[in-house]
């Protein structure tokens, strides 16, 4: 497909900061902290380029551990396991932001680590993250830091209705509560264990978008086409790419994502999620220092996937093209599909394998399952990427697939 609004392979350069010399050649071992589906897709990308991957994860049967060349089962701060990973691997990365920063610091003492512990530490804490975003000159939703109950009693007027979010370890809508009054906010704060939180004002959104940027050790960066996202119950449900937004809005998102990566001196793949308000203004929601769910479409729709890009960055290889050759709609497949087959009004108590032929009968639909043996409601089990020459055709097929699987409707209205 030709160049579309918001799909420039934007490349920028700045003086080298900490370039690994020489590059790590294929055949070497790469380390990965985390055993989830992002790690699984990283392993597959690295192995296709000739690398071997060692995963450190506490699970005995994790999605990444099951495909890695070696699996060290242990805690992320397990000293012997970290020492073994450090001795074996030339470079290491993480598949999720909640890995202890101390583990990354330990590995960085002997090898290449991306992203750096300092970057991950900011993304691990919503309070630190929001302060960083504002220091970059970018907008966030109005918010207040909540470290004790008194902060809620003294909060500024105009923040309610709002969303109370735990500062650490929250994801996919977990650790969040919608509150309409100070009493509800105090109740939620106590329910979360009175841990540090942020209370941010609920905004009237027009839509949500995200930008994935990859930045190398030499300061060069590439940006993927902006994705248009729909969340359900706090979990990403649908990503449509390229987003049906103006060129100006797409470039503002891209510029903001690059500004944040540069300010962090970030090395790796970084996703920045945005709210678009009804007046067209752009508000940064949060960042993820890793490949992101909204970037899964890159596996099938782009020259270089976000996971291959992650491998290229950490091994000091040149960045790949982010060109998108077809429009794409990515659908998340949750464990709900196993318990709520099409036509069933109520969830079943026993899981049943979905009929994947309803996906694969569409020749331009690509099915990705994560190898998780236990389906649970709300658990990410896989995704489908629908490819087409135009966005409206990809959406049409995606609607058919969602209805056939019984996972709802694609809530992505057409935009002029």
The string of DSSP codes covering 226-237 is PEEEEEETTEEE
Tokens coding 369: 């399952």
Q: How far apart are the first and last CA of the chain?
A: 20
- The Cα–Cα gap between 96 and 38 comes to 8
Position 414 confidence tier, pLDDT thresholds 50, 70, 90? very low
Q: What is the pLDDT of residue 169?
A: 74
pLDDT at 215 over 50: yes
User: Taking residues 309-314, what's their average pLDDT?
Assistant: 97
**What is the percent of the chain with per-residue pLDDT over 90, rounded to a whole number?**
81
Nearest to 6 by CA among 276, 316, 372, 333: 276
Nearest to 133 by CA among 270, 296, 280: 270
User: Which residue is associated with the tokens 């099915």?
Assistant: 367
- The Cα–Cα gap between 320 and 212 comes to 14
pLDDT at 294 over 90: yes
Position 283 confidence tier, pLDDT thresholds 50, 70, 90? very high
- The Cα–Cα gap between 124 and 60 comes to 25
User: Taking residues 266-280, what's their average pLDDT?
Assistant: 96
Mean pLDDT over all residues of the chain?
A: 91
Task: Tell me the per-residue pLDDT of 66-98, one tens digit each, with 9 for 90 and over.
Answer: 999 999 999 999 999 999 999 999 999 999 888
Q: How far is CA 194 from the centre of its chain?
A: 27
pLDDT at 6 over 70: no
What is the C-alpha R_g of the chain? Answer: 21
Position 164 confidence tier, pLDDT thresholds 50, 70, 90? very high
pLDDT at 10 over 70: no
Q: What is the pLDDT of residue 109?
A: 92
pTM of the model: 0.91
Position 20 confidence tier, pLDDT thresholds 50, 70, 90? low
Tokens coding 392: 């409206």
Phi-psi region of 315 (alpha: psi -120 to 50; beta: other; left: phi over 0): alpha
User: Taking residues 186-215, what's their average pLDDT?
Assistant: 96
Tokens coding 95: 């598949």
Task: Tell me the per-residue pLDDT of 336-386, one tens digit each, with 9 for 90 and over.
Answer: 999 876 666 566 778 999 999 999 999 999 999 999 999 998 999 999 999
pLDDT at 255 over 90: yes
Q: Taking the C-alpha atoms of 143, 271, 260 and 252 in order, what is their torsion angle to the nearest 10 degrees?
A: -90
CB 194 within 8 A of CB 133: no
H or E element that contains 39: helix 37-48
Q: What is the pLDDT of residue 157?
A: 85
Position 140 confidence tier, pLDDT thresholds 50, 70, 90? very high
Tokens coding 357: 């032929």
CB 356 within 8 A of CB 320: no
Higher pLDDT, 172 or 198: 198
Helix (H, G, I), strand (E, B) or coil at 258: helix
Helix (H, G, I), strand (E, B) or coil at 93: strand
Full set of structural domains in the chain with CATH = 29-124+205-314 (3.30.470.20), 142-201 (3.30.1490.20), 327-405 (3.30.470.20)
Q: How many CB atoms lie within 10 A of CB 293?
A: 22
Exposed, middle or buried by CB within 10 Å (0-12, 13-18, 19+), for 392?
exposed
Helix (H, G, I), strand (E, B) or coil at 75: coil
User: Which residue is associated with the tokens 């650490």?
Assistant: 168
Catalogue the long-range contacts made by 68-71 (C-beta closer than 8 Å, 24 or more residues apart).
Answer: 68/32, 68/39, 68/43, 69/29, 70/29, 71/35
Nearest to 289 by CA among 118, 35, 78, 73: 118
Least confident span in 152-156, 187-191, 272-276, 340-344: 340-344
């Amino acid at each position: 497909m030709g160049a579309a609004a918001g799909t420039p392979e934007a490349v920028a350069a700045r003086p080298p900061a900490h370039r690994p010399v020489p590059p790590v050649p294929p055949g070497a071992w790469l380390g990965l902290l985390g055993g989830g589906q992002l790690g699984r897709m990283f392993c597959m990308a690295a192995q296709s380029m000739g690398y071997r991957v060692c995963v450190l994860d506490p699970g005995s049967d994790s999605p990444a551990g099951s495909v890695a060349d070696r699996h060290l089962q242990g805690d992320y701060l397990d000293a012997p396991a970290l020492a073994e990973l450090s001795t074996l691997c030339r470079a290491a990365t993480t598949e999720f932001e909640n890995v202890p920063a101390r583990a990354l610091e330990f590995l960085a003492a002997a090898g290449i680590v991306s992203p750096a512990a300092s970057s991950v530490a900011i993304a691990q804490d919503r309070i630190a993250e929001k302060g960083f975003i504002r220091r970059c000159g970018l907008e966030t939703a109005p918010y207040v830091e909540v470290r004790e109950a008194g902060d809620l009693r003294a909060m500024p007027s105009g923040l309610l209705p709002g969303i109370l979010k735990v500062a650490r370890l929250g994801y996919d809508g977990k650790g969040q509560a919608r509150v309409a009054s100070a009493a509800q906010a105090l109740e939620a704060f106590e329910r979360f264990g009175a841990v540090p939180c942020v209370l941010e004002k609920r905004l009237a959104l027009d839509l949500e978008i995200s930008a994935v940027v990859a930045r190398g050790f030499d300061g060069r960066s590439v940006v993927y086409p902006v994705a248009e996202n729909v969340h359900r119950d706090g979990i990403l449900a649908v990503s449509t790419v390229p987003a049906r937004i103006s060129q100006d809005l797409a470039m503002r998102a891209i510029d903001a994502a690059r500004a944040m990566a540069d300010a962090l001196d970030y090395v790796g793949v970084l996703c920045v999620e945005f709210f678009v308000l009804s007046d067209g203004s752009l508000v940064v929601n949060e960042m993820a220092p890793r490949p992101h769910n909204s970037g899964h479409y890159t596996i099938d729709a782009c020259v270089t996937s976000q996971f291959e890009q992650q491998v290229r960055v950490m091994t000091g290889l040149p960045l790949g093209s982010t060109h998108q050759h077809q429009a794409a709609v990515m659908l998340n497949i949750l464990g709900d599909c196993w318990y709520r087959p099409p036509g069933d009004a109520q969830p079943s108590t026993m899981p049943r394998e979905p009929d994947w032929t309803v996906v694969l009968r569409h020749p331009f639909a690509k099915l990705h399952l994560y190898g998780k043996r236990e389906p649970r409601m709300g658990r990410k089990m896989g995704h489908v990427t629908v490819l087409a020459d135009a966005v409206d055709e990809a959406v049409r097929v995606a609607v058919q697939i969602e209805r056939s699987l019984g996972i709802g409707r694609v809530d992505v209205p057409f935009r002029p």
